[in-house]
Structure 1
């Protein structure tokens, strides 16, 4: 198994990133730590924002304190003990407890890499802060975002920006391409990130509703005569289905851009291409399952089982050295 940091931090990374760890640990060595550290930092801020207890103002204060600490604007370590003891996931609890050690990893990188990590993290945290403010600024049990523009903005901040970051790291450390191809890589990289976030949003509707938030725009639901509360009833899936499929169609278009992204990566970059292929294949498969099932049925969560993920990993390993096999696997 490829080592990233040390056994302790790697265990936290694996425990918090789940299947995405399969991609992180296989990234080429020159960018593996940078990308993995960004994930840990973003997961920390996400854990703070999603804490089940604590007022909105206290979580916003903690987020801003964490952001200032990461950006080297403050020497004061954010106090996260009250949040850490609430975590049901042991890895997330350890993540918050080890934050000083994790942030210190920034010292291992060049000034340019640190600047890029901080730039992306700042965008991600801005999305998380906006989320906290949005879902606590109105009264009601469940709050929806208002428009598709807001949905797109959120997807960019928390995930599309990560596609930009991966691309920046790759171009700085792995390979060079012409200016036109470079711009295409950035454009499709943003859509790559958005695809993964949209899958999360469309898969996790019941879980988000239970937390009082809905990422399906209120204006779009209203066109069907629905509101966010109606999505609590699985019997409304037939009414919701046309809109749901519309967002799956958009997600699939983003995945097509992700495939284009991978095909633009120089063939010799086996590890980078393989690390990108895995979440795309898993995401496309998840999209297919979501089309077939009833996502509003909270008792039957739609996801790929571990055996299929293991099979996908094996297929990627076998296909990545060969152009035709890679294209066939990606476009299947």
Structure 2
């Protein structure tokens, strides 16, 4: 699947939470948190990484479906007070921060959306549902751990999750097409005369830039809403979301500056820009 809003590293085993890749913006953001909150985020991270691996690693569909069902059952058991070993690290974060069962289940449902059949040109409602499940649901778990007020936190998760996920989709269009996937919305493709295209046909179309520009504009609107909410939220609870939003916005800006015509070079913000973001948002 297209990279989720949390940039996960290698697969993790059930025995212990994984640490994110040391060079990632997620790692830097989580290092800003107090120890208990940071460890809770690592437990959520490990769950998301493990479920993502089930959905993304191939293999017989019936085996992947059974494994995702097992994760669903184990989350249910966690909330029934009987957590199996591999969800045991989530028990304390659930208790301490009031994490909701439906958000964990939404993450599993999101990973399942393209586990068995590649997503190709979803309609806008399906794309938004996908973004909600794989990104904003993770955000809803995260903002509770960060200590944000419920109403502001839910709105922040909605907008920042979609901003980050749309940025990932735009960054990864070529890599996704190589895997037979296309997350650009059907309605925007139809507007440039593409009905039912293959991923390869879509990304090579001479007007594909119009589709990408439209999706980038939606991402920018979500970034604006994100910063508006951050500006009205307790600063101590928004250090990690601020850093993530600022770092990912560098990627979107780099993509817009590069343009959308093929061949599209992979973009990566410079180290100095990322360091500047970390310094600015890592200091309260």
What is the aligned partner in structure 1 of residue 135 from structure 2? 159
Which digits, 9 at most, give the CA deviation of each residue in 1:162-221, with x for residues without a partner? Answer: 222233334xxx466xxxxx5344223311111111111111111111111111123321
Give runs of aligned pairs for residues 230-249 of structure 1, distance below 5 A: 230-233=201-204, 236=205, 238-249=206-217
Question: Distance in 2 between the 1:304 and 1:31 partners?
Answer: 28
Question: Distance in 2 between the 1:121 and 1:17 partners?
Answer: 26
What is the aligned partner in structure 1 of residue 92 from structure 2? 108
Q: Using the TM superposition, give the Cα deviation of residue 110 of structure 1 relative to its aligned residue in structure 2, in angstroms.
A: 5.5
Give runs of aligned pairs for residues 85-104 of structure 1, distance below 5 A: 100=85, 103-104=87-88
Question: Distance in 2 between the 1:155 and 1:26 partners?
Answer: 25
Question: Distance in 2 between the 1:259 and 1:211 partners?
Answer: 34
What is the aligned partner in structure 1 of residue 60 from structure 2? 55
More helix by share: 1
Tell me if the contact between 1:206 and 1:232 (Cα under 8 Å) persists in the aligned partners: yes
Q: In the alignment, does 2:165 pair up with 1:200?
A: no
Q: Which moved more, 1:257-266 or 1:296-305?
A: 296-305
Q: Gapped runs of 5+ residues in structure 1?
A: 1-7, 78-99, 136-142, 177-181, 322-332
Q: Per the alignment, do residues 305 and 158 of structure 1 end up closer, same or farther by CA in structure 2, a change over 3 Å counting?
A: same
Q: In the alignment, does 2:69 pair up with 1:64?
A: yes
What is the aligned partner in structure 2 of residue 28 from structure 1? 34
What is the aligned partner in structure 2 of residue 284 from structure 1? 249
Give the alignment's TM-score, normalised by structure 2.
0.81
What is the aligned partner in structure 2 of residue 328 from structure 1? none
Higher Cα Rg: structure 1 or 2?
1
Tell me if the contact between 1:289 and 1:302 (Cα under 8 Å) persists in the aligned partners: yes
What is the aligned partner in structure 1 of residue 233 from structure 2? 265
Question: Distance in 1 between the 2:185 and 2:94 partners?
Answer: 41
What is the aligned partner in structure 2 of residue 125 from structure 1? 108
Q: Using the TM superposition, give the Cα deviation of residue 229 of structure 1 relative to its aligned residue in structure 2, in angstroms.
A: 2.7
Q: Per the alignment, do residues 245 and 278 of structure 1 end up closer, same or farther by CA in structure 2, a change over 3 Å counting?
A: same
Give the alignment's TM-score, normalised by structure 1.
0.70
Tell me if the contact between 2:159 and 2:222 (Cα under 8 Å) persists in the aligned partners: yes
What is the aligned partner in structure 2 of residue 253 from structure 1? 221
Q: Gapped runs of 5+ residues in structure 2?
A: 1-14
Specify the SS of the correspondent of 1:144: coil
The answer to which structure, 1 or 2, has the higher relative contact order (CA under 8 A, 6+ apart) is 2
What is the aligned partner in structure 1 of residue 7 from structure 2? none
